[in-house]
Amino acid sequence: MATCVMSEEHYLELCENPVQFEHASSVNNVFFDEANKQVFAVRSGGATGVVVKGPDDKSSVAFRMDDKGEVKCIKFSIGNKILAVQRTSKSVDFINFIPDYPHTEFTQECKTKNASVLGFCWTNWNEIVFITDQGIEFYQVFPDKRSLKLLKSQSINVNWYQYCPETAVILLSTTVQGNILQPFAFRSGTMSKMSKFEIELPVVPKPAKLSLSERDIAMATIYGQLHVMYLKHHSRTANSTSAEVVLYHLPREGACKKSHVLKLNTTGKFALNIVDNLVVVHHQSSQTSLIFDIKLKEPDCAVNTHQPVLPARSIHPYRIPLSGPAVVPSQPPVPCQLYSSSWSVFQPDIIISASEGYLWYLQVKLPPTVNLLQDKGKLMDFLLRRRDCKMVILSVCSQSTGVLPVVATVFDKLNQVYKEYLEAEQSYTRGAETSGQNSGGHRPIRHVHTRPVGVSHKFIIAVLMEYIRSLNQFQITVQHYLYELVIKTLVQHNLFYMLHQFLQYHVLSDSKPLACLLLSLESTYPPAHQLSLDMLKRLSTANDEIVEVLLSKQQVLGALRFIRSVGGHDNVSARKFLDAARQTGDQMLFYTVFRSFQQRNQRLRGSPGFNPGEHCEEHVVHFKQLFGEQALMKPSTV
């Protein structure tokens, strides 16, 4: 298995477990099927041997077929059900791989006279498109009958074509210069003609004319939208001194428009990949790559112009182990030749080295980006759009604990995404409730929030208040634990004047839990009692509810003081308070509460005893067991 060498600077790497296949020196031809992500290694001679390697064992297969000429193109339909092989410019052969179906080859010639088949694309497990130099032919395959039915065709002069399996869109190059592109979309037996569009070629002096090369066009989905990417090389006569990638947004309906320009700031031979919604541009001569994020918009531009997000860096060094009978076990792996001329790049994220027999998936490493991108606001925008970003964002948060404006920026970026998450979650839930099932939308991804560690308490308070400010700015409900953390930190460091100011100016929003927390602080900070009462009055909360909250927090004396302050002591249930006091396990607390209600009974009824309807008999027994019968109050005599 190939291995990687760790480095801090490389933000791109080849996957650790590549797909291995017979390299080009030992076979006649190597083909790649973008739809199934399969490599076909074809060896001719007598019978044609084919070894197919895919992303997993299920998609890998080996077989032989009759040698009927050189293989020009070979692909399985989805699920390896039907194999299509092109050997001539007039027809395509088919072989069933469905169990219990006949394995005899059957052939379909293109319908258009004098046309040459340029290639074919599977759009479904039993639907295929022939692309000829005179148009396209859309067929349904009947494997049981070993025949095809023409569903639809379109006549158009074709120079070359490209296919995007993810969206089932075929792009045809037409006209002499090849820069008028005609897309077609396929879905469940239907073929739709989309709006054609023109690629703007560089200006050259007359009579010279440029034509659009297939090598300079790629199709890929970026942030859920299909884009055509045009690698526009610099023109010596034009003002531009460097190449650029021009992106055209290709919607299912409506006109295709130029949407983004990626500035490469250099010239030479390039190749394109898409990884985690990032456009990766490989530059062969410098053996480096650039990444662009089209969501990081430049201000005040009709067509967004983008510079690379990060400095150019090479792909992470890669080593391939030696293999074969002559290899000594201790022999070290040999370095892989990165950016080799034998590399072939496919969308979205595949790199193939036919000479070495490897297929890699290109990956982005996020940790190195933290030190390469100094603008923390831009860094957060970049990271929040990436997969597996949580731990890297945590590291950014921890590194930011020292500069409050940076912390504020980080929180605003996080909470902007968090707000979008909450809105998406509500929309998802509403959709699911309306339809009675999953609405079909993607469940939103929750992002992480953190607090600084290992810094001064004043900075912790400042950071918490920044976080609360940010939540309020985005109209996100502030959870009680955040207020609790602020208050406990203030009390712990005797910052009572600051606490008083926060409450007085409503920096900390009124709530019942917050009022109860203040009541519990009365012994430490006596004014907290009045502050809590003022808050509860502003909330117009029912007194019974406040008592219940206090008792649930075992603030029994606080509940007694509160009920006295609002004049409700004479009517309150003694048993409720005695139950709560007893549950604390504090004997002196139980004694204090018991005597308090004996005194109330004496004042109201002239006797300290409890009425039968109050159901306090068990508490009287418990009191006697703890303190003796002599500790009970005696009725006072007039």
Proportion of the chain above pLDDT 90, given as a percent: 31
126 band by pLDDT with thresholds 50, 70 and 90: very high
343 band by pLDDT with thresholds 50, 70 and 90: confident
Cα 359–chain centre separation: 25
Q: Distance (Å, rounded) from C-alpha 68 to C-alpha 9?
A: 51
Number of domains, the chain: 1
pLDDT at position 326, please?
45
Residue linked to tokens 């190059």:
173
Residue 348: asked if its preceding bond is cis (omega within 30°), the reply is yes
- Amino acid at position 375, single letter: D
- On the CB side of 30, CA atoms within 13 Å amount to 22
Q: Residue 419 pLDDT > 50, yes or no?
A: yes
Q: Residue 470 pLDDT > 90, yes or no?
A: no
Q: What is the mean pLDDT of residues 296-321?
A: 81
pLDDT at position 468, please?
86
pLDDT at position 236, please?
58
- Model pLDDT for residues 568-586, shown as the tens digit of each residue: 888 888 999 999 999 999 9
Check residue 591 and report its DSSP letter: H
The helices-and-strands tally (H runs, E runs) of the chain is 14, 33
pLDDT at position 168, please?
93
315 domain residue, yes or no: no
Strand partners, 40: 31, 52
237 band by pLDDT with thresholds 50, 70 and 90: low
Contacts of 251 (CB under 8 A, 6+ apart): 225, 226
Burial class (CB in 10 A: 0-12, 13-18, 19+), 617: exposed
Q: What share of the chain is helix, strand, coil (3-state, %, to 5)?
A: 30, 25, 45
pLDDT at position 75, please?
93
pLDDT at position 231, please?
92
Q: What is the mean pLDDT of residues 302-317?
A: 86
Q: Distance (Å, rounded) from C-alpha 130 to C-alpha 15?
A: 34
- Model pLDDT for residues 93-124, shown as the tens digit of each residue: 999 998 888 788 899 999 988 899 999 999 99
Q: What is the mean pLDDT of residues 6-33?
A: 76
- Model pLDDT for residues 600-619, shown as the tens digit of each residue: 999 898 889 898 888 999 99
225 domain residue, yes or no: no
User: Whole domain around residue 605: which residue ranges?
Assistant: 554-637
Question: Among residues 227, 229, 382, 394, which one has the least CA distance to residue 310?
Answer: 382
575 domain residue, yes or no: yes
pLDDT at position 1, please?
39
292 band by pLDDT with thresholds 50, 70 and 90: very high
223 domain residue, yes or no: no
Q: Distance (Å, rounded) from C-alpha 579 to C-alpha 480?
A: 27
Most confidently predicted of 35-44, 219-228, 538-547: 219-228
Q: Distance (Å, rounded) from C-alpha 99 to C-alpha 150?
A: 25
Mean per-residue pLDDT over the chain, rounded: 83
pLDDT at position 441, please?
42
pLDDT at position 445, please?
45
Question: In 3-state terms, what secondary structure has residue 465?
Answer: helix
| CB-based contact 250:184 (threshold 8 Å) | no
pLDDT at position 580, please?
92
Q: What is the mean pLDDT of residues 45-59?
A: 78
- Model pLDDT for residues 476-515, shown as the tens digit of each residue: 888 888 888 888 888 888 888 888 888 888 888 888 888 8
Residue 233: phi and psi, rounded to 5, are: -75, 155
205 band by pLDDT with thresholds 50, 70 and 90: low
Q: Which of 110-124, 271-285, 317-331, 385-399 has the lowest mean pLDDT?
A: 317-331
Give pairs for 614-618: CB < 8 Å, separation 24+: 614/573, 614/574, 614/575, 615/575, 616/574, 616/575, 616/578
Check residue 67 and report its DSSP letter: -
Cα 390–chain centre separation: 10
pLDDT at position 4, please?
41
Q: Which of 226-230, 233-237, 551-555, 618-622 has the lowest mean pLDDT?
A: 233-237
Provide the token pair at 294.
């089209």
Question: Among residues 77, 85, 80, 121, which one has the least CA distance to residue 97?
Answer: 80
42 domain residue, yes or no: no
∠ at Cα 602 (597, 603), nearest 5°? 95
∠ at Cα 280 (371, 420), nearest 5°? 70
Cα 160–chain centre separation: 35
Question: Among residues 386, 154, 357, which one has the least CA distance to residue 293?
Answer: 386
pLDDT at position 129, please?
95
443 band by pLDDT with thresholds 50, 70 and 90: very low
Question: In 3-state terms, what secondary structure has residue 74?
Answer: strand
Q: Distance (Å, rounded) from C-alpha 138 to C-alpha 126?
A: 11
Query: Would the CA dihedral through 425, 429, 434, 437 be positive or negative?
Result: positive
pLDDT at position 460, please?
80
501 domain residue, yes or no: no
479 domain residue, yes or no: no
**Helices assigned H by DSSP within 368-495:** 369-372, 376-383, 390-399, 404-435, 457-473, 480-492
602 domain residue, yes or no: yes
